[in-house]
Amino acid sequence: MRKSTTVSRRKWLQRALGAVGGLGLVGCDRIAQSDRVNATLDWAEGWTHGVQRLLLGRSALAREFSDKDISREFRANGTTNPDTDEYNKLASNRFADWQLVVDGLVEQPLKLSLNDLRSMPARTQITRHDCVEGWSCIAKWTGARLSSIVQRAGVRPNAKFLAFYCADTLELTLDGTGQYYETIDLVDALHEQTILAYDMNGQPLGVAHGAPLRLRLERQLGYKMAKYVMRIEAVASFDKLGRGKGGYWEDRGYQWYAGI
Ligand SMILES: Nc1nc2c(c(=O)[nH]1)N[C@H]1C(S)=C(S)[C@@H](COP(=O)(O)O)O[C@H]1N2
Ligand SMILES: [Mo]
């Protein structure tokens, strides 16, 4: 099975190369036996496999742990309380009046309460959170699958990224670019383990860890996992958001794709 796929791809490549070289199909097999053509074919096949591996790599699952591995203390980092009037008001009512806004390049803009989110397809996973600063903690996260939300909103064909806007301002700036935000592409948005978590270790998410809702994106570093998510916007590019690099920390020099 594998072998025949390889053989037919090789045939196809031979034909393609033959066409490029202006050689008739008749001559292909003979020409293909020369070392130079074979080297080219090997290179082309290697390249194809490399791309396949890369794409497969994007859907592979992050390691999951068991209950006994859960960290006794999970460190909180960055903002531990947005502490704005608006946020405090929502928190005082245990976020009963809070709604997640989903808009931008979607067919159907959404406003979802915590109850709405809790009634959507969910996933629970015990994973390790790795912060770029060099510490890790393990916790159990439960949340709505981001793929279900994307599906319900129906992203338009020109949407390439999802932007997450948070309730907290981490740095006070005159132009407002100190507000925390993040962007991810649709490949990561549809990943099996990408969820909007409302529970941590079986309890409603606490304020320090991003209440009422935080992103879990288990194949990337901690700074990608936006806490205090208020709004998700489907966008074609993130050039015009913040300082244009795709996230609060990206705008300050960190990589946009923080794969682990
Ligand atoms: N809104 C918001 N999200 C954020 C941050 C933040 O400061 N504000 N810090 C990020 C960083 S650097 C890390 S490591 C994690 C920390 O999550 P925790 O507080 O649950 O440990 O949240 C990320 N998401
Ligand atoms: Mo972090």
Distance CA(121)–CA(235), nearest Å, equals: 24
Residues with CB under 5 A from ligand 2 (ion): 131, 222-223
Atom 19 (ligand 1) nearest CA: 76
pLDDT at 30 over 90: no
Q: Name the band, by pLDDT with cuts 50, 70 and 90, for residue 9.
A: very low
Distance CA(179)–CA(163), nearest Å, equals: 13
The closest ligand to the CA of 249 turns out to be 1
Atom 9 (ligand 1) nearest CA: 78
Segment 138-155 shows an average pLDDT of 98
Nearest to 168 by CA among 90, 220, 60: 90
Cis before 121? omega within 30? no
* Residue to probe by mutation, ligand 1, list 77, 130, 170, 215, most atoms within 8 Å of CB: 77
pLDDT at 45 over 80: no
Kindly list the distances between the CA atom of residue 23 and the CA atoms of 13, 17, 216, in Å, as whole numbers in the listed order: 13, 8, 53
Rounded to the nearest angstrom, the distance between the alpha carbon of 77 and the centre of ligand 2 is 6
pLDDT in tens, 185-225: 999 999 999 999 999 999 999 999 999 999 999 999 999 99
Average pLDDT, the chain: 87
pLDDT in tens, 93-109: 999 999 999 999 999 99
Higher local confidence (pLDDT), 96 or 46: 96
Packing angle between helix 35-59 and helix 2-20, nearest 10 degrees? 120
Rounded to the nearest angstrom, the distance between the alpha carbon of 135 and the centre of ligand 2 is 8
Atom 11 (ligand 1) nearest CA: 223
Ligand 1 atom nearest to CA at 80 = 19
Atom 21 (ligand 1) nearest CA: 76
Write 39-47 long-range contacts (CB < 8 A, 24+).
41/10, 41/13, 41/14, 41/17, 44/13, 45/6, 45/9, 45/10, 45/13
28-46: string of b/e by CB count within 10 Å (b at 16+)?
beebbeeeebeeebeebee
pLDDT of the residue at 57: 76
pLDDT at 156 over 50: yes
Kindly list the distances between the CA atom of residue 235 and the CA atoms of 103, 115, 157, 161, 221, in Å, as whole numbers in the listed order: 9, 26, 10, 5, 22
Q: Is the pTM of this model over 0.85?
A: no
pLDDT at 32 over 50: no
58: helix, strand or coil: helix
**For residue 17, how many C-alpha atoms fall within 13 Å in the half-sphere facing its CB?**
23
Q: What are phi and psi of 99, to 5 degrees?
A: -140, 140
Question: Which residue intervals of 21-34 are DSSP H helices?
Answer: 25-32
Residues with CB under 6 A from ligand 1: 75-79, 131, 166, 168, 170, 180, 208-210, 222-223, 225-228
Neighbours of 197 (CB within 10 A): 27
Q: Taking a C-beta distance cutoff of 8 angstroms, is the pair 193, 62 a contact?
A: yes
